[in-house]
Amino acid sequence: MLVLDKLKEYLKDNRDDIIGDLRSLIKHPSVSAQGIGIDECAGTLNAIVRDSGIESKLIRIEEGNPIIYGELKGDKRDGKTLLLYSHYDVQPAEPLDKWRYNPFSGIVIDDKIYGRGAADSKGNVIAIVKAIKAMLEMYEELPLNVKILIEGEEEISSINLPRFVEKNKAMLKADACVCFDGSLNPSGTPNIFAGLKGLLYVELRCSTANADTHSSLAPLIDNAAWVLIKVLNGMKRNGKIAIPEWYDDIRVPSSDDIALLEDIEYDLESIKSSYGLKEFIHNVKGRAALKKLLFEPTCNIAGIHSGYTAAGSKTVLPSTAYAKLDFRLVYNQSPDKLFKNLERYMEEYGIEVIKLGALEPSKTDVKADIVKSTREAARKVYGNDPTLFPNSWASGPDYVFTKILGIPSVWTGCSPANANIHAPNEFTGIGNVMSGICYISSIMQEFGSLKQKNE
């Protein structure tokens, strides 16, 4: 039986090993969108996993980034099997000039480790691996069978993961999944999500002529930026997405989900202060803001570019304009179906649509065993109730577990709140990583000691 105090002692003694390995992961950029430092990071991670006691494999993916996979039997014959998922790839570090430190240094300042991926999600990856190592070194065996799956394409919509999971259903068979790729909330307890939004990420390309021209010809020649702006503007009406049939497949949240929403104490106000906001869109507040955050599909402009954007002035009429859009989808919108709607919509304006990523939304019953075990583990490690959300505002490949493997799954993690993920100056706390190791160890303990349903 896991004794947390004993584990904490162990972690003190092994701090250099844990932090050193996290820093070496951060030093390999592993930016999947840009294909930088992927193989080096995967190789380093595989060595770190194998050092924990799992004989993992680096599985090469055709035209994709390697997956690190490993499994280990627990102490019970026919005991439960838990699949642990995370990712070693990171978002691009741009804009580089906004970083206080080199984003790939993993520099430690005041017990914080700075770097792209420190919080999302290399800190979580290290927590998984070092929890297993700790349990094995302390108890010589695990309280349940464990399978770990760490991919390198989460930040580019896990493009190869669905195929991999589909092909390896038997190998990946498990009773439940924990996706360890999340954060604590501002009050310092973990967020646990029993559902994730889906994602459709596209690039729009608008072209009005075969070359840029002098802006004096503006009375006669269409400007690609103006055309794209008009089309983008028309895509939203009163805050809603104005593309036909966009909302048709949405299922309203279950009564359990809505009931849970009422219980959530989540400090949305801290988001306002973090970003210097006077109010949220339409001045929504409290429960209404939370419901909007969790259950509203979005259309976000992640980037737009056209013409001359360097210093000073240039009187050019741009012939091309680009925008990157990410649509968050809610249960049970289909990214493939909506992509086709979007293509049809854009066809009328002669705008090309390129799909850069797609994730289906995912949902797990809030009363599932793995939800209970994760909640209990968080309570024990963090000293008070975690925040259980019926759905997340973010997206991830959770659906490969709930829809393809057909098992319940929770999304949680140990990174600090407001850790600047996907933004400059991302960091995690050393304390956060250490608590994360305790959290994963406790989840294994809790889920492993639950009675089998069919016993």
Is 421 a binder of its own copies (CB under 8 A)? yes
Contact 353, 228 (CB under 8 A): no
Query: 221 vs 250, which CB is nearer to its own copies?
Result: 221
Q: Does 324 bind its own copies (CB under 8 A)?
A: yes
Neighbours of 265 (CB within 10 A): 9
Instruction: Say whether residue 452 binds its own copies (CB under 8 A).
Output: no
238 binds its own copies (CB under 8 A): no
Q: Name every residue whose Cβ is closer than 8 Å to that of residue 255 and which is 6 or more positions away in sequence.
A: none
Site size toward its own copies (CB under 8 A) is: 86
Specify the residue, 212 or 360, whose C-beta has the smaller distance to its own copies: 212
- CA proximity to 430, closest of 13, 19, 6, 102: 19
Q: Which residues lie closer than 8 Å to 238 by C-beta, 6 or more apart?
A: none
Footprint on residues 20-59 left by its own copies (CB under 8 A): 32-34
Preceding peptide of 332 cis, ω within 30°? yes
- The Cα 375–Cα 127 span in angstroms is 17
269 binds its own copies (CB under 8 A): no
The tokens describing 365, both together, are 């019953």
Interaction of residue 438 with its own copies, rule CB under 8 A: no
Q: How far is the CB of 268 from its own copies (least distance, A)?
A: 7
Q: Which of residues 183-212 bind its own copies (CB under 8 A)?
A: 197, 199, 201, 208-212
Rule CB under 8 A: which of 58-97 touch its own copies?
A: 91-92, 94
**Residue indicated by tokens 């639950």:** 450
Beta carbons of 213 and 277 less than 8 angstroms apart: no
Interaction of residue 118 with its own copies, rule CB under 8 A: no
Instruction: Say if residues 398 and 300 touch (Cβ distance below 8 Å).
Output: no
The type of residue at 305 is H
User: Is 242 a residue that touches its own copies (CB under 8 A)?
Assistant: no
When the beta carbons of 29 and 79 are compared against its own copies, the nearer one is: 29
Q: How far is the CB of 370 from its own copies (least distance, A)?
A: 23
Is 250 a binding residue for its own copies by CB under 8 A? The answer is: no
The dihedral sign for the CA sequence 406, 412, 413, 418: positive
The residue from 309, 406, 454, 455 that contacts its own copies (CB under 8 A) is 309
Q: Least distance from C-beta 363 to its own copies, angstroms?
A: 17
Q: Which of 308, 340, 349, 452 binds its own copies (CB under 8 A)?
A: 308
Least Å distance, CB 224 to its own copies, is 9
- What is the footprint of its own copies within residues 354-393 (CB under 8 A)? 356-357, 392-393
Residue with Cβ nearer its own copies (15 or 98): 98
Contact 371, 408 (CB under 8 A): yes
Centroid of chain to Cα 224:
34
Closer residue to its own copies, CB minimum distance, 183 or 402? 183
* Residue 312 binds its own copies, judged by CB under 8 A: yes
> At closest approach, how far in Å is the CB of 409 from its own copies?
18
Nearer of residues 107 and 316 to its own copies, judged by Cβ: 316
Q: What are phi and psi of 299, to 5 degrees?
A: -130, 105
First to last CA, the chain: 21
Q: Are 397 and 154 in contact (CB under 8 A)?
A: yes
Span interacting with its own copies, options 51-59, 290-298, 406-414, 443-451, rule CB under 8 A: 290-298
Q: Which residues contact 293 (CB under 8 A, 6 or more apart)?
A: 268, 393
Using the rule CB under 8 A, which residue among 9, 240, 277, 344 binds its own copies?
277
